[in-house]
A and B are shown apart, each in its own frame.
Chain A
């Protein structure tokens, strides 16, 4: 089974700073990749996903992620964060033909106004 690791447990930054969250997975085959976000008191929702094609994926709210196959990575980025980006971010992976999503432990992002 694949595993997903998120390097940072908690990131604190100021508004307008740039954000990059690391995500690595361990599976040698073809994967689908996702980033989900959970705002305080709200449900998990999809930020972006990668299935195939352009490895640079753009999602909602100005987020993007880059799939680097050789590094088994799918890092999430945002050039300039806002206070409203305070949330917990989860990377997830599944393999072709498998329903099961494997999640990372999550990264809590706190943006100070």
Chain B
């Protein structure tokens, strides 16, 4: 256990559905991240939040919408996704200092039908 939890662990959704992924960190960190992990491709950074403020949106389509209500919680709201969005979505957190190690959650395996 890294102190970063994600729910659900698996999600199957249709292209017209709306769902949300949840991430919670119990480490007292100030920065949180969403990554997309597709098979045989490098992890892609999607969003960065530092002290609840979004500091990075890495050209992510608007069908992905992040929300960070406080430093411990991070959501990824999904709507009208495409089959190519199927992937493992990883949440991570770090203390906030830019050299800090990032701690990863177990991920949500998303399948879009």
Contact = CB atoms under 8 A, between A and B. Distances in A.
Interface residues of B, number: 26
Interface in A70-107: 90, 92, 94, 96-106
The size class of the interface chain A forms with chain B is: 20 to 34
Contacts of A46: 101, 103
B107 interface: yes
B104 A45 contact: yes
B3 to A, nearest CB: 10
A101 B45 contact: yes
A4 interface: yes
A103 B42 contact: yes
Given A32-B99, A43-B107, A99 B48 contact: yes
A97 B43 contact: no
Contacts, number: 55
Contacts of A34: 101
A97 B96 CA distance: 11
Nearest to A102: B42
A44 interface: yes
A105 B41 contact: yes
Nearest to B2: A43
A9 B40 contact: yes
Minimum-distance CB pairs A-B, first 6? A44-B104, A103-B43, A103-B42, A43-B106, A43-B104, A105-B42
13 contacts: A51-B99, A94-B99, A96-B99, A99-B31, A99-B48, A99-B55, A99-B94, A100-B45, A100-B48, A100-B58, A101-B102, A104-B42, A105-B42
Interface of A: 4, 9, 32, 34, 36, 42-46, 49, 51, 90, 92, 94, 96-106
Given A44-B90, A44-B92, 19 more contacts: A34-B101, A43-B90, A43-B107, A44-B104, A49-B101, A92-B43, A96-B98, A96-B99, A97-B98, A98-B98, A99-B33, A99-B48, A99-B55, A99-B56, A101-B45, A102-B45, A105-B40, A106-B40, A106-B42
Interface of B: 2, 4, 31, 33, 40-43, 45, 48, 50, 55-56, 58, 90, 92, 94, 98-99, 101-107
